A and B are shown apart, each in its own frame.
Chain A
Amino acid sequence: MPEPRGRKQRKIRLSKLYSFGCGRSSFNPAEQSQLGGPGFSRVVETNNETNPDNPLSYFPSNSISTTKYNVFTFLPKSLFEQFRRVANMYFLVTACLSFTDLAPYSSTSAVLPLAVVILATMIKELVEDMRRKQQDDEVNGRKTLVLTADGKFEQTKWKNLRVGDIVRIQKDEYFPADLLFLSSNYDDSICYVETMNLDGETNLKVKQSIDKTSILQEEGDFIEFKTRIRCEDPNADLYTFVGTIEIQEEGHPLSVQQLLLRDSKLRNTDYIYGVVVFTGHDTKVMQNSTSAPSKRSTIERKMDKCIYLLLALLVLISSVGSVFFGIWTKEDLKNGKMKRWYLRPDDTTIFFDPKKAGISALLHFLTAMMLYGYFIPISLYISIEIVKLLQAQFINRDIHMYHDESDTPAHARTSNLNEELGQVDTILSDKTGTLTCNSMEFIKCTIAGVAYGRGITEVEKAMARRKGSPLIIDERENEIPDGTKIKGFNFTDERIIGGNWIREEGRGIIENFFRLLAVCHTCIPDVDELSGRVSYEAESPDEASFVVAAREIGFEFCQRTQNTVSLNELDYLSGTIKKRTYDLLNILEFNSTRKRMSVIVRDENGKLLLLSKGADSVMFERLSKEKTDYEEITKEHINMYADAGLRTLVLAYREIDENEYAYFNKQFTAAKNSVSADRDEKIEEAADMIEKDLILLGATAVEDKLQQGVPECIDKLAQAGIKIWVLTGDKMETAINIGYACSLLRQGMRQISITLDAPEIVSVEKSGDKDAIAKESKQSVVKQINDGKRLINEFPNESCALIIDGKSLTYALDDNTKQIFLNLAIGCSSVICCRSSPKQKALVTRLVKTGTRKVTLAIGDGANDVGMLQEADIGIGISGAEGMQAVMASDVSIAQFRFLERLLLVHGHWCYRRISSMICYFFYKNVVFGMTMFIYEAYTSFSGQAAYNDWAMAGYNVIFTSLPVIALGVLDQDVSARFCLKFPMLYQEGPRNDLFRWSRILSWMSNGVITAVIIFFLVTFSFGPQPFRHDGQPADKAPLSAAMYTCCVWVVNSQMALSISYFTLIQHILIWGSAGLWYLFLVIYGAITPSFSTTYYMVFVEELASAPSYWVVTLCVSVAALVPYFAFKAVQTSFFPGLHDFIQWMRYKGRAEDQEVGQVIRQASVRATVGVSARYDARINQQTGRVHHVVQTP
């Protein structure tokens, strides 16, 4: 295959750029010796197809499957799932018993509803599993290049890859399996890998193959490449790999440095070759993925308890009935005398035997359990499932949660958590890719004490919108058309742009400033040969933004060689562009402890320059004693930038004289070449020595570009009383910056930072004694936590922010400290955990979930968030970006963080309300029906005679009352979406669980009892014993029961109409149509031959319809049975209104648009502690000089 080498082959050894151990591979001899032993037995051979003992055939294929069922397991497994529900089990037993003489009704009428319900649920399961299969097929069907037997690389599907295959991966492709890295297009055989899907880190990782394989460059080389690789067995550890490769009978050790993991991505490298070592479910990423836990919502768990309650009630009333039945039966035959002779108690079966009344009573208990089965809503589960599916469709189809640019709608992947969305108490959010877009933009800078840059950050926009200030108009005017926008650069200031800086007063400093940006970095330029345009490949997006900024201002970094950096500079004296080359002498690279990066260069005049950029915390102390006059004002600017959510770096430089450099270089080189354990330390010491007495140039401000609308969204969520925690893998500074950017932090908040950076800890760490480190660290963490709590107690009126790093988190999450940690965290209005590993994210999530017993929601976009998403009650994946792991593990996926607002406040709120109302209503309607039957029983001496006709009863839950409930569950809205968003505090109904607390459930059940009593007695007393028809016919059992049924249907459906407050045509059709269906049923069923319709034969047409009293009774009962509820509701809304009542009322009065009223409601409910509003409030308070009070969210 011809090599697409349109670009020049780089001849530099990139590994040389790194002074701190990057790309260095270390082999641990102890680990190597384990090979061949247990757990390290894998042997992989390449180009060995012909060998009959080829061990490769034992390895699994590369196809993956995430489905729940297969063809054979579907039936047993899904049935098992179904009957794990106690209610379904109960109905199964009932259905079985209904074939015996115990049954109070015909068996078919008992089995059919159950069959319908089970079947419908199974179909739903099937459809969902098919969808999962489709997704698997999509992944399995991706293409990659694999070496075929005739030595060519040809395309094949991922699923066809076998262990031992040699593959070629092109730039920006995902690795299809775990590969052993053989060679790349770079001479030193390195490649860059993006592991965002695995650990969420966005910086590129460097992998390097062993020298022996790096020579394999041409396609033909591979067919002759026979090798045997021995390595560890599949395991979940992403950071270790042990193995050897035998090349020409010679073993070479392998480490994780040579392993390319499935689902990570090749970056900045044209191509690589690799051998497949782990396939399919053996790969590390699959080993890491735990099977998705099946989540159930809080409401559903509580619903189970309600079902148990109803079952208990069922047992209770059944036993009451049985006792009475036993007594009556026994009395029927005394001393040979029959009491109720017409029952022939002398000649009877065991079911009614007066001589064995005890046994009869026991058997009757079973009958009663079946008869009162109507207390248990059989169709509840399936109705809920249907409703949730439809709700999920609404979520999927919501145009306001549709991201137009990426053509991604929201997607509710598991529909059974919709209502949980309405009860979220804490959101745990990832940062990169979730809150931010993962792109950095150079937006502002301060040079020599002058602030440049008119760009407006998302935060400032949000603040401006909050204030209603004209900033927005300003912004629109200056909006750059999309086409001309440069990635990473959002800087507008006519004083600088377009070469205007040369007329600025401080142009010398400006020149140094941008030159520093152009020289001090580790980027690689990539010159497009056609257009001459330079683009850059950088390890991190903020580095790239600096180089881009320098280029735009006139310092185009255009070439990097082994030890030079060349720029095309705009010379301000001549105003022309000159190419200047700087000799790159040393790079003192960035790491998290140094928090700075420096380069030492020699310019064309032979001057030695130290160029340095770093965090303000470390840079200011390194400035020279002779202060520049703009140091203070620069600090001020930096604070201002930080408050606007920007990431700042301080730039400084100095000239070094030759002697000093010579001394430094000696030290530094010695340190670099040393092989002792303290190598890094020595390098650092040497660097420390030279990075001092710097001259301040200014500071840059880079916007870690927040996703659109994030600050407002967080503000709304905070107003809704939801707590937001940020869990990020980023370093602390970045995390804090983002905290500011998205309004979780603000100036004036008390920050409690828990870190292990204290000198004494560091010194203990150097000793290397693990136990001592653990002990010291633990003590330190506990102390800091306690200090934090003291601080909170001291200033109860101020909002605090907790910032904790990953190392401390390890100790804080220990069993004996996690409770105090949680207490501290709950006391803070913002919590930020930085440097946290995927596992820690999951652990924190679990801690919050179990510690507070409230609903947690995790949101993230990368594979590193998977654990967190699965652990949380609800996991939300950010879709649309690259990488599907998070989405696959999530319950709902959305394209942008800001959609969370609508997802929770609108859909979540509605779904919560709908589902809880629906369940309550279900209990109500079943209690009504069951209770009328029970009271009727009392009038049949508890003989177990059903009040209604078999088929009519069977239809109650399935036909006559089910559709309106579904309408309630799918369509009801207490207030419109607009008002949900306008009054976020309405959301609190969910976390407080106002609508599904026991008192509400029980009052609905009692309402059912009251209704049943009213229905039963009104109907029976109106109907008899006096004949109800004017032609003299009295009401026997059939018309009476049909009339009572009619009343049940009307009352239950009218109750529905009363309890919803949102009517569209659909509601009307379903509610009144259900009542109509009953009449239709009566007519049709009554016309069928009497051997089928039995008692209901012609009951409506002949007996009821022509009797005025039937209609009069129906009306009377329907009204009378609803008056108690209506009065109750009227009292409640008038005197104890809920928030939704309030808002409904406001809307009715047309006052909801009133700003003032909104303010009143806001203050009456939740006070924001974070968010744009809080920041705005704080600023106003600062301005007016008043004391700032912040009330903690209850």
Chain B
Amino acid sequence: MEVEEASTSAPGGGDRADRAFSPGRSGALYRFKQQNLPSWKPALTPGSVIMIFLVIGFFFIPMGLIFLHASESVVEIAYRYDTDCIPEPYKNDKVGYIKDSSVSKNCTRKIRVHKYMKAPIFVYYELDNFYQNHRRYVKSKNDKQLLYGMKQKDIGSCDPVQTGNGLPILPCGLIAWSLFNDSFNFARRAEPLKLNRKNISWQSDREHKFGKDVYPFNFQNGSLIGGGSLDPKVPLSEQEDLIVWMRTAALPKFRKLYGVIEVDLDTSDVVSINIANNYNTYSFGGGKRVIMTTSKWLGAGKNNFLGLAYLVTGTSSLLLSILFAMIHVRNPRY
């Protein structure tokens, strides 16, 4: 802290209440007005530069290693099924296949667990090249309708999926209409694995964004069927697949939670996944994956990026500090 002594060149005065300047010539306010507050004035000296980079380096590199370790210890199995789950004759007409409702869409695949997976094991589906963040798409829903149901009359924001057969659609809008409708069933050694599909959405969504007594109405009744349909007897607040889907993703490649397997899987367990490959991603060339992953404190799923980012930042700081130190030793300033 450097404190500059207040100058004494201006004479102070006693009875000068009527003057332009108040006689009070001390205290924080006065020093503020004189721009002379106690202050900290760091100067960028070679030493401090080297030190700062060194500290960043020494702090970030271990952190990076910790994060890397955390993400490495996550076991993740991802399986891309959109290309696999097409019968041979349809390989060249994937769109035709997916649109043909007469063809069975079921598909079972076996996956070997390469490493022990500790419960809970999260199951996701991952889409890519799917623009859930497109402006037209994002806007096409009505929050009030989701919460208040048919009481909400003005659903103009849901364009172009507002009404079907002259009646309003509930839930309206493109997002709901394009609801993802592939389904997955898991089995181990011919015995089905229990998949918990409750509480896969945010609690706040269930409680505050989707009505408890709002039921789907006139949904997927139009001429053009989008994605999945909803059970009209279940209130929206319990339609968790819809709730999850309605949370639009930020980027064109995204994962959404499907369910949780609540038993451990051992190494070399073979899990068979029964997939209903209903959802059309073929028109726009999007990929579909199913993912099983364990979770660590840093997140569910294997993502080394954060650890690497820390490592890179730390290492470059360290290098910079060495570089500066070398230059400084060679050409000390002044």
A residues with CB within 8 A of B: 104, 337-344, 347-349, 351-352, 393-394, 397-400, 402, 404, 407-409, 910, 939-941, 943-945, 971, 973, 976-978, 1018, 1020-1038, 1040-1041, 1061-1066, 1089-1091, 1094, 1097-1098, 1102-1103, 1107-1109, 1112-1113, 1116, 1119-1120, 1123, 1126-1127, 1129-1130, 1133-1134, 1141, 1144-1145, 1147-1148
Contacts and interface: CB of A to CB of B under 8 A. Distances in A.
Interface string B157-199: 0011100000000000010011000000000000000000000
Given A973-B35, A1036-B250, A1026 B302 contact: yes
15 contacts: A344-B174, A352-B136, A404-B13, A407-B19, A939-B250, A940-B135, A941-B134, A1029-B299, A1032-B300, A1036-B249, A1037-B138, A1037-B247, A1037-B249, A1063-B42, A1144-B43
B152 to A, nearest CB: 10
Interface stretch (B103-111, B229-237, B268-276, B306-314): B306-314
Given A978-B4, A1030-B298, A1036-B247, 5 more contacts: A1020-B250, A1025-B255, A1026-B299, A1098-B208, A1116-B310
A661 to B, nearest CB: 59
A789 B278 CA distance: 92
B303 A1063 contact: no
A1062 B134 contact: no
Q: Shortest 4 CB-CB distances between A and B: which pairs?
A: A1026-B301, A342-B178, A1032-B122, A943-B135
A773 B117 CA distance: 108
A409 B21 contact: yes
Contacts of B228: none
Given A1037-B250, A1127-B320, A1144-B43, A1112 B306 contact: yes
B131 interface: yes
B295 A1129 contact: no
A229 B295 CA distance: 103
B236 to A, nearest CB: 14
A1147 B43 CA distance: 9
A1119 B320 contact: no
Given A348-B136, A1024-B254, A1034-B255, A1090 B303 contact: no
Contacts of B284: 339-341
Contacts of A341: 178, 226, 280, 283-284
A21 to B, nearest CB: 46
A1130 B44 contact: yes
A1102 B203 CA distance: 8
B47 to A, nearest CB: 10
Interface of B: 2, 4, 7, 9-11, 13, 19-21, 25, 33-46, 49, 52-53, 56, 60, 63, 67, 76, 95, 120, 122, 124, 126, 130-138, 143-144, 147, 159-161, 174, 177-178, 200, 202-204, 208-209, 224, 226-227, 247-257, 260, 280, 283-284, 293, 295-303, 305-306, 309-310, 312-313, 316-317, 320, 324, 327-328, 333
B32 to A, nearest CB: 8
B257 A1064 contact: no
B46 A397 contact: no
B98 to A, nearest CB: 10
A1035 B250 contact: yes
A1125 to B, nearest CB: 12
Contacts of A977: 4, 35-36
Nearest to B56: A1119
Contact of B131 (A941, A1030, A1031, A1120): A941
B299 A1028 contact: yes
Contacts of A1108: 297-298
Nearest to A1066: B37
Contacts of A1033: 202, 257
Given A342-B178, A941-B134, A1090 B209 contact: yes
Contact of A1027 (B39, B49, B251, B301): B301
Given A340-B284, A394-B33, A400-B7, A1034 B209 contact: no
A976 B6 CA distance: 12
A940 B209 CA distance: 25
B37 A1022 contact: no
Contacts of B133: 939-940, 943, 945, 1037
Contacts of B254: 1024-1025, 1034, 1036
B174 A337 contact: no
A89 B179 CA distance: 43
A1144 B300 contact: no
Contacts of A1112: 63, 67, 298, 306
A993 B135 CA distance: 45
Nearest to A401: B10
A408 B19 CA distance: 9
B299 A1126 contact: no
A340 B76 CA distance: 30
Contacts of B177: 342
A944 B135 contact: yes
Contact of A1102 (B25, B131, B204, B316): B204
Contacts of B209: 1090, 1097
A1191 B52 CA distance: 42
A1063 B300 contact: no
Contact of A1061 (B43, B208, B327): B43
Given A344-B160, A1065-B37, A943 B131 contact: yes
Contacts of B35: 394, 910, 971, 973, 977
A399 B34 contact: yes
Contacts of B256: 1034
Contact of B37 (A340, A1064, A1094): A1064
Nearest to A945: B135
A343 B131 contact: yes
